[in-house]
Structure 1
Amino acid sequence: MRSMILTSLLFTLSTTAMAGQVYTWVDKQGVSHFSELPPNGQASTIINTATPAPRPPASEKLPPSQTKDPEQETIERKVQHEVASQEAKRREFCETVRTNLAQLENNPRLRAQIKGEMRRLTEEERQARIAEAKKAIEHSCR
């Protein structure tokens, strides 16, 4: 355990000891250079690599209610209400279509009101309605 602590301490100290000076300067073309040796005949700045660079201050975030315009919040609530209403209508539609599909698939002797009169569906009409219901479910329901 003692050797582990000593090794950790030596490792930590060695990284700061190995951190040398870094020089930076800008040449005549405006290009920034970085080197461990200072440039000849040119002014340079020493960068301290032993200490971490200062972090920019964290911007204070306001609660969401204070960052939005009240008019924008009203619009967003209205849109959310409309979306929720449309989703409820879609779910109701899907439930109805699924119920109709189950009736069509499980009952070959169905009657429907066609052109004002009640009559029994032919097998072709029943299969066509089954196909329409499946297509509606595939298109609108998840």
Structure 2
Amino acid sequence: MKRILLSTLMALITCSALAGEIYSWKDKDGRTHYSDRPPADNKIKIKSGKLAPAPEPAASAGSLAEKNRAFKERSAAKADAEQKSAEEKKRDDAKRQYCAELKQRLETFESGIRVTHVVGGENVYYTDEERSALTRKARADLAEAKCGK
């Protein structure tokens, strides 16, 4: 019982010590400073007072409605920007994949290995003329897609 009473008494003494004076002043640049000690330069006008919670600003219904509308507009703009960014990323990824496939096709035709295609269920080798035509087509597709080297 004595411990509880002593703890309560100590807590009350500590709380009253924390409610000391707060000093506020403006420096030569116009910035406001707050401290529990007065400034070193006594030429500055000082306001002092007890620490108290700041009063909450009274909000009118009109200002709340305006804030709500502005919030909704910002949210909609953010959602639109995110959607556009996702679509752009999707397009970039698709183009990157398409370019990789075109480059692989060109490398295959330029490599010199024999390439086949399926005709009527059978593998048929490309002739040299077909192969050079396909190589030119792959180069043209790469240039048209602007994939770079």
Scaled by the length of structure 1, what TM-score is found?
A: 0.48
